[in-house]
């Protein structure tokens, strides 16, 4: 069974970047069609997808019970490069011919390093479902990656720690107040006391794929 190779690069100036590499036994043109055709995207992506496949175009994602979300396409070079932005994260797909098949490489900048394992697990599932779709079969579906897959990707190299506070006597934290879907909850540290709201803030951009 083909597997996805995943690495986390935290050496760049823009923060952590997830790298995914997977070989598909199909020519680049076939895989490109699965990346840029609405019907095929909707088979292996965990939501309904519409796409205006052109330079300057966009993807529109519609998750069940939620309003559509439009993602701008930033690169479009058939049948080799597709890039778009999703919730402040940048995603870039490249296809390279390899024998009778092709090598897919995906990069995903990570806004929230603590959610990197979930994002990795979500894309792993999607890329596996893409393989199933390319073979002419129907993915088994589901709401997201399982806990075992997420736990596996927690073994990725961790992001660097935040820089130390140069002030030996920093001021006490100021509680922050945020309204989320009509609910405002804070604790003394300034973070939401409701863990469901905290979880919702992590499920942004491609992090949506890591919500089980």
Predicted local confidence at residue 108, as pLDDT: 97
Q: DSSP string spanning 57-102?
A: -EEEEE-TTS--EEEEEEEEETTTEEEEEETTEEEEEEEEEETTEE
Predicted local confidence at residue 121, as pLDDT: 94
Predicted local confidence at residue 171, as pLDDT: 56
CA distance 166 to 203: 32
DSSP state of 135: T
Residue pair 42/48 in contact (Cβ under 8 Å)? The answer is yes
> What does each of the 212 residues of the chain score in pLDDT, given as a tens digit?
468 999 999 888 888 999 999 999 999 999 999 999 999 999 999 899 999 999 999 999 999 999 999 999 999 999 999 999 999 999 999 999 998 899 999 999 999 999 999 999 999 999 999 999 999 999 986 656 778 889 999 987 554 566 676 665 655 544 433 232 233 333 333 333 323 223 333 466 787 776 65
CA distance 69 to 129: 22
The CA-based dihedral angle spanning residues 10, 82, 135, 5, taken in that order and rounded to the nearest 10 degrees:
-10
Predicted local confidence at residue 26, as pLDDT: 97
DSSP state of 197: H
Give the length of the chain.
212
């Amino acid at each position: 069974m083909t597997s996805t190779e995943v690495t986390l690069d935290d050496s760049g100036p823009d923060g952590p970047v997830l790298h995914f590499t997977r070989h598909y036994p199909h020519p680049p043109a076939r895989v490109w069609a699965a990346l840029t055709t609405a019907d095929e995207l909707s088979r292996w992506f965990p939501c309904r997808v519409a796409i205006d496949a052109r330079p300057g175009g966009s993807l529109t994602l519609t998750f069940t019970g939620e309003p559509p979300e439009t993602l701008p396409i930033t690169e479009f070079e058939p049948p080799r490069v597709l890039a778009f932005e999703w919730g402040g994260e940048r995603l870039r797909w490249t296809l390279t011919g390899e024998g009778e098949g092709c090598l897919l490489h995906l990069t995903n900048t990570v806004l929230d390093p603590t959610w990197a394992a979930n994002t990795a697990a979500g894309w792993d599932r999607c890329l596996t479902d893409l393989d199933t779709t390319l073979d002419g079969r129907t993915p088994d579906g589901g709401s997201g990656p399982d806990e075992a897959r997420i736990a596996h990707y927690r073994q990725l190299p961790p992001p660097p720690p935040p820089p130390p506070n140069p002030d030996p006597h920093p001021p006490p934290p100021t509680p922050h107040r945020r309204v989320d879907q009509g609910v405002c909850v804070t604790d003394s540290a300034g973070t939401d006391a409701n863990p469901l709201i905290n979880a919702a803030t992590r499920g942004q951009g491609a992090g949506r794929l890591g919500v089980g």
